[in-house]
Amino acid sequence: MRNRLHTLMLSAAVLGVAGLSLAACDPAPETDTTGSEIASTRSDRTLTAALSDQGDAAGFRDVLDNSGLSTALEGVGPYTVFAPSDTALGTDADGLKDEAMSAEAAALVRAHIVPGSLGRADINAAIDASGNDQAQMRTMGDDMLTFTRDGETIVVTASDGASARLSGTEVQARNGVIQPIDAVLVKTEAAE
Amino acid sequence: MKSHITLVSTLALSAALALPALAADQDRGNGNGNGNGNGRAQAARAERVQDGPGNGNRGNPGRGNDNARKDDRGPPAARGNGNGPVPPQVEPRPRDRGNGPDVRDADRRADARARVTVPVGRDDRPEPVVTLFRDGRVERRALIDGCPPGLAKKNNGCLPPGQARQMRREALGRYDGYWLRGDEGYRYRYDDGYMYRYDRNGGLTGWLPALGGALGLGNLWPQQYSYQPAPQYYSQYYGLNDRYSYRYADGVLYGVDPQTQAIQSVAALLTGQPWTVGQAMPQGYDVYNVPYQYRGQYADSPQSWYRYSDGYVYQVDPTTRLVQAVIQLLA
């Protein structure tokens, strides 16, 4: 359950005191370059286990199980998983947990994973440094995600135009990061 | 004034492709063997990492010889479309001046980290050395061009004209968009374990076994599908056990039962992006993504960026975006 996790809420001022040296073993960035607060939850569990702790990602967790990729997200990684909410997945969560749909489930999951650990502070910093207010990361599905900002909210868009907003609280798991999102990053035909 | 920086670097040669594919005991994490034979990197020269772009820091990509795979089980169309081995890498290496770790010893211990001290100073230019390591990295696989097994090539791709017309008429399935690969002008379908690519006329022009489909847990490894044995480094980095033999294909590291050839686990997901010292970093790594436990050691600065990909951290020149060094992350 989420309440078992230790929630960190650090202000920019606190980070300022810290000198932003992010000394060697600092586990994570916890602010962004605009000075906004970054809500970050830390878990010593794996991504697969931490997804189970997410209150609004049961559907994505089911899809992950059906995809056969759960063991990968229990491994060394690290990965960053953009986890669509149950509302975002809608009825596709039921469809994609059918055993006959494991290939589609795997394709969906791969489209939501990028290599390494991406905190929101990292994404914001990359957007700020880009010169064109966007930053890109390649997914494990070999697609490109583009990050932009709408106000203080980070927006992520796939190459097919599917777009989502980073929502909720990021989770720093033992082997990566979970970034909750409010939409799915691949389009279905019905959505077009 | 002369200063020194220390780089932890290594090179990878994805030479594993020369290994026989079927023998289970041969594909257990051994990316060594005969793979070096095709690399022609000995002619390449590398400059020290502090130099700017275009200073010859490019190794000749050793063209792994697909044809050398005597038992290549991939379809004929798989040749020459990105399925080949990763070119040998070129790493800036200083002359062994006795002021750093024994790089020759590091060469002998190809699986170990090679700690290299690179002098910074115009009057102390290190002699570039090309090093090929036994273990390697992996590369993304392109779609296999041509006709899948059992379908002969026709005038219109692999399908008879009647089937092609039918394909054009069929509506897209709800999840067909999941298979898009960014190449316009094609449609993608998934059917019975395989992904297929069709051109505008409905001609079948490419195919690939799908993760979760033909490459799903419990399924036997498709006999027509070639793979790359897991490079030794990945066995170490991902902590692969001896229970399975591990095979890399198209961004996935699979654990396969060596007796039954059944896929038993997905050990890791990889991007398969090519990172080569002296060449531009791949697109899609704008965000600092180094694992948290290494951030103190590899923090971005005006002089260097660090990016994580597939078990390695890469040092990149922020201005030129050229890859400066490859860093293993073994404890």
Q: Which residue of B has its CA nearest to A113?
A: B269
**Cα B131 from chain centroid (whole Å):** 18
- Look up the ipTM and state it: 0.82
Contact flag A115-B289 (C-beta cutoff 8 Å): yes
Predicted local distance difference test score (pLDDT) of residue B4: 35
B235 and B205 co-located in one domain:
no
B318 interfaces chain A, CB cutoff of 8 Å: no
Instruction: Map tokens 């020459």 to a residue.
Output: B80
Predicted local distance difference test score (pLDDT) of residue A120: 97
**Cα B324 from chain centroid (whole Å):** 18
**How does the average pLDDT of chain B come out, rounded?**
63
Distance (Å, whole) CA B33 – CA B37: 9
B184 and B75 co-located in one domain:
no
According to DSSP, the residues that pair with B305 across neighbouring strands are B316
A6 interfaces chain B, CB cutoff of 8 Å: no
B283 neighbourhood in chain A, CB within 8 Å = 136, 138, 144
Predicted local distance difference test score (pLDDT) of residue B152: 59
Burial of A45 (0-12, 13-18, 19+ CB in 10 A): middle
- Would you say residue B190 has pLDDT above 80? yes
CB atoms under 10 Å from CB of B241, counted, come to: 12
A188 interfaces chain B, CB cutoff of 8 Å: yes
pLDDT digit string, tens, across residues B240-294: 988 999 999 989 999 999 999 999 999 999 998 889 999 999 999 999 999 999 9
Predicted local distance difference test score (pLDDT) of residue B47: 29
A94 interfaces chain B, CB cutoff of 8 Å: no
pLDDT digit string, tens, across residues B70-104: 333 322 222 223 333 333 333 333 333 333 323 23
Counted domains in chain B = 2
**Which residues constitute the domain of residue B171?**
144-209
The Cα of B115 is separated from the nearest Cα of chain A by a number of Å equal to: 20
Q: Where are the domains of chain A?
A: 2-191
CB atoms under 10 Å from CB of A102, counted, come to: 24
Pick the CATH number of A2-191 from 3.40.50.10310, 2.30.180.10, 3.40.190.10, 2.60.40.2250: 2.30.180.10
A69 neighbourhood in chain B, CB within 8 Å = 266, 269
B282 and B302 co-located in one domain:
yes
* CA distance readout (Å), B16 to B110, B138, B330: 14, 9, 20
Q: Does the residue B305 lie in any domain?
A: yes
The per-residue pLDDT string of chain A (192 residues; one tens digit each, 9 = 90 and over) reads 343 434 333 333 333 333 333 333 334 445 554 445 567 889 899 999 999 988 899 999 999 999 999 999 999 999 999 999 999 999 888 889 999 999 999 999 999 999 999 999 999 999 999 999 999 999 999 899 999 999 999 999 999 899 999 999 999 999 999 999 999 999 887 544
- pTM to 2 decimals? 0.69
Predicted local distance difference test score (pLDDT) of residue A129: 94
Instruction: Map tokens 């890859």 to a residue.
Output: B323
Half-sphere exposure of B292 (CA within 13 A, CB side): 21
Q: Which residue of A has its CA nearest to B291?
A: A117
Instruction: Count CB pairs under 8 A between chains A and B.
Output: 168
B107 and B162 co-located in one domain:
no
Q: Does the residue B178 lie in any domain?
A: yes
Contact flag B285-A137 (C-beta cutoff 8 Å): yes
Of A23, A25, A126, the CB nearest to B286: A126
- Would you say residue B301 has pLDDT above 50? yes
Predicted local distance difference test score (pLDDT) of residue A167: 95
B197: pLDDT confidence band, cut at 50, 70 and 90? confident
B229 and B270 co-located in one domain:
yes
Q: Which residues contact A155 (CB under 8 A, 6 or more apart)?
A: A147, A148, A149, A163, A164, A165, A166
Predicted local distance difference test score (pLDDT) of residue B156: 56
pLDDT digit string, tens, across residues B136-178: 555 555 667 766 666 656 555 666 556 655 655 565 677 777 8
pLDDT digit string, tens, across residues B100-139: 323 233 233 333 333 332 323 333 333 322 223 334 555 5
According to DSSP, the residues that pair with A138 across neighbouring strands are A144
B72 and B167 co-located in one domain:
no
> Any long-range contacts for A67-71 (C-beta under 8 Å, 24+ apart)?
A67/A102, A67/A105, A67/A106, A67/A108, A67/A109, A67/B211, A67/B212, A68/A102, A68/A106, A68/B211, A68/B212, A68/B216, A68/B217, A68/B266, A69/A106, A69/A109, A69/A110, A69/B266, A69/B269, A71/B265, A71/B266, A71/B267
- Would you say residue B32 has pLDDT above 50? no
